Structure 1
Amino acid sequence: MGRILALDYGIKRTGIAVTDPLQIIASGLNTVETHNLLAFLVRYVKEEKVKTIVVGEPRQMDGSPSESEAFIQVFLKGLKVALPTVNIVRQDERFTSKMANRTLIEGGTKKKKRMNKALVDEISATLILQAYLNRIQ
């Protein structure tokens, strides 16, 4: 079947989540510096069978694209060239960072650990992936 990856793309770092091979469970995988993201993904796809990469689509409250969309579009062009056989889809990511922070608070995570933005990015990617899985099922 193949795994599905999800990305919470950021200018500095990107959170990554992945499904199991049967595409049932979404789990946080890693957070990487964005300038290393494409190389990380190419390596990962060589090691694991990846069917689809879901890239978060940041939008304003009125539905218009956010400012970071321009950076994401540049990344998407490079991703399509580097991994032409992998399906690339978009998923609305509004509120994922707030939901990730709430998850950490409700889970009893100490304030110092909640300040770790890489952890928030990884959880956000997991939320994006779960939303995508809910949408396609």
Structure 2
Amino acid sequence: MARILAMDFGTKRTGIAVTDELQIIASGLTTVNTKELLQFLKDYTKNESVELLLVGEPKQMDNTASESEVHIKPFIAKLEKQFPNIPILRVDERFTSKMAFQTMIDSGLKKNQRKNKALIDEISATLILQSYLYSK
């Protein structure tokens, strides 16, 4: 089997998480500067087999699209061009940032460490991936 890769897309940084090859465990991989994201994905898919890309879908409480969707749609168009053989799915990402922050508190990270926005993005991507795996 191949891995599933999930992204918590942001205009500055994008958190990335992947499954193991059996698609059982979701793990945070890294946070990448969004300007370097496509190149990172090209390099990653050269070394690892990826069968599915998940992109977080930010929604408002009334289920309408978030303002950040304006930035995500063009990115997805580039993804589709760059990786025509890998399907792309959207996963509702409501509350993942709050859940990521709470995870940091629960795991005992000090206040100073919890200010690390890159870590929050990576944990958010992991939560997006886990929610997809649970729904499968």
Shared fold (TM-score greater than 0.5)? yes
Question: Matched residues in 1 for 2:46 and 2:79: separation?
Answer: 14
Superposed displacement of residue 104, structure 1:
0.4
Runs of 4+ residues deviating >3 angstroms: none
3-state SS of 2:112 partner: helix
* Alignment match, 1:59: 59
Superposed displacement of residue 87, structure 1:
1.1
Q: State the identity as a percent.
A: 61
- Pairs aligned (count): 136
* Alignment match, 1:103: 103
**Alignment RMSD (CA, Å):** 0.5
Question: Matched residues in 2 for 1:29 and 1:106: separation?
Answer: 20
Amino acid at match of 2:100: A
Q: What are the superposed Cα offsets for residues 83-114 of structure 1, whole Å, 9 maximum, x if unpaired? A: 11111001000000000000000111001110
* Alignment match, 1:69: 69
Superposed displacement of residue 70, structure 1:
1.1
* Structure 2: runs of 5 or more not aligned: none
Question: Matched residues in 1 for 2:120 and 2:102: separation?
Answer: 10
Question: Matched residues in 1 for 2:38 and 2:133: separation?
Answer: 23
3-state SS of 2:14 partner: strand
TM-score (norm 1): 0.98
Superposed displacement of residue 54, structure 1:
0.4
* Alignment match, 2:4: 4
Q: Does 1:28 align with 2:28?
A: yes
Question: Matched residues in 1 for 2:112 and 2:82: separation?
Answer: 37
3-state SS of 2:109 partner: coil
TM-score (norm 2): 0.99
Q: Does 1:79 align with 2:55?
A: no
3-state SS of 1:94 partner: coil
